[in-house]
Amino acid sequence: MIEAFLPLLQASDSARVVNVSSLLGLLKNVPNEWAKEILSDVENLSEERIDEVLREFLKDMKEGMLETKGWPKHLSAYKLSKAAFNAYTRVLAKRYKKICFNSVCPGYVKTDMTCNTGQLTAAEGAQSVVRLALLPNDKLNSGLFFHQQQVSSF
C-alpha cells in the first residue's frame, strides 16, 4: 500500500507514514542471531535482506525447526512480521528522505485482537499514532520506533 501512495507522498512537503507496530517486533524478541544481525544492520538493510530473513523463517517453520533454529517460541509469525515491518520502515526512511517514516507501538489496547484485555482504550492508543502524523516538520525524525510517545530502540 505504501508503494501505491508514494507518488502522492513525494509531491507533499510534509508527507508522513506512521506504521502501527508492536513491542513484540523489537529485535530483542528475535532470538535468531543471524536474523537479528541482518535486521539491525541499518547501513546494509534492504527489502531483499528482509525478504531473505522471512524466507528462512518460513522454510524453518515448514520444516518444524523454529525452536532448533532459534526463532521465537511463542507468537513467532507475529513477532517476525512486526520485526520485518519495523525494518521496512527504516529501509523506506533511508530511501525517501523527503518523507517521514516511523513505526509506533500504541501500547496494549482494548481491541478484538487483545480480546479486550488491553489497558488502553482505542482512543488512548490512537494518540501516539496521531501525534506522529501531526508533528510539525521541524520536530520530525524519520526511521524511528516509538513506544507510545517515546522513541525506543528497535
User: Which residues are annotated as catalytic?
Assistant: 78
Helices (H), 42-120: 47-62, 76-95
Q: Are the C-beta atoms of 28 and 85 separated by less than 8 Å?
A: no
Give the three cell numbers for residue 132. Answer: 506522529
Using alpha carbons, select from 138, 117, 137, 108 the residue that is nearest to residue 13. 137
> Letter for the amino acid at 102?
N
**For the chain, what's the residue count?**
154
